[in-house]
Amino acid sequence: MEEFIKWFLENWNANIFTLFTVLLSGIISLIISAAYYRKGNRNNLKMSVIHPIISILNDSYSRNNYKKMEKISKEYSVRYFKRKELKKLNTLLETYKEISAYNDIQINADSLFSYFEYKLKKEGIDPKPFPIEYEGEVVATQYPPDLFYLSEDLEDALKRYDPDYEVDECEERVISIYESYCKKYYTSKKITYFDDYALKQVLKQSEERKKWDKKFDSVNRAKEEFIKLKIAK
């Protein structure tokens, strides 16, 4: 041991240089290995997650496509996303989930239901005249029994008559439904419908439609930001 130490000290410069060279070589090898490892993981991420999701985004919005995206998002390689990239994926999934429940006929029916309420209120009629009591006190009011079937009847009318191409027929059927429910639950008084707003205006400008338009704007932004990720190119 003493002889080794003596030899090492006598050849200090050469030995230090050799030691430094070996250490540097080892560090460079580790860096190169880590770089290749990272590149391989990122390539796997692109193939197993990024590209499949973009392929789905090129298709129409649907519940089935959301389920596919959700399944892909649970792939093992998702852990190789950068923090900002993962945040954009999660935003995309959240906004897509909301829009995947979209049903155009149902939204239009909800809009027509709201318009019916609006017309009743203009005539001084309370759409929710039935009290809800708790411990002898009125805590809220509710719609008349079975009024919720109004939405189903409106959906049936919209399925039968397309409001974009059969406006008059659709409007006539909707008015007939309004009059039937109004007479049954509220009043026999004649109420004029669609004199202030046309049927198409009601469908396009309702609060329900505006709410869904905002949801579509959100998912479209999330979609664009995800596709623009550097790793997605």
Q: What is the four-CA torsion angle of 227, 229, 231, 233, rounded to 10 degrees? A: 50
Nearest to 202 by CA among 161, 160, 171, 169: 171
Structure tokens at 205: 């400008």
Sketch the domain layout of the chain as residue ranges. 2-80, 104-218
E strand segments, 72-230: 130-134, 137-142
Residue 197 is classified by DSSP as: S
Question: Could you give the CA distance from residue 82 to residue 24 in angstroms, rounded to a whole number?
Answer: 29
What distance in Å separates the CA atoms of residue 68 and residue 1, rounded to the nearest whole number?
Answer: 67
pLDDT score of 34:
41
| pLDDT higher than 80, residue 7 | no
How many CA atoms, within 13 angstroms, populate the side-chain half-sphere of residue 211?
Answer: 10
Report the SS3 class of residue 219. Answer: helix
Q: Which two tokens stand for residue 152?
A: 């189903």
**DSSP β-bridge partners for residue 171:** none
- Tell me the pLDDT tens digit for each residue of 99-142: 998 999 999 999 999 999 999 999 999 988 777 666 666 557 78
pLDDT, residue 22, reads 53
Q: pLDDT-derived band of residue 202, with 50, 70 and 90 as boundaries?
A: very high
pLDDT in tens, 131-185: 766 666 655 778 888 888 999 999 999 999 999 999 999 999 999 999 999 999 9
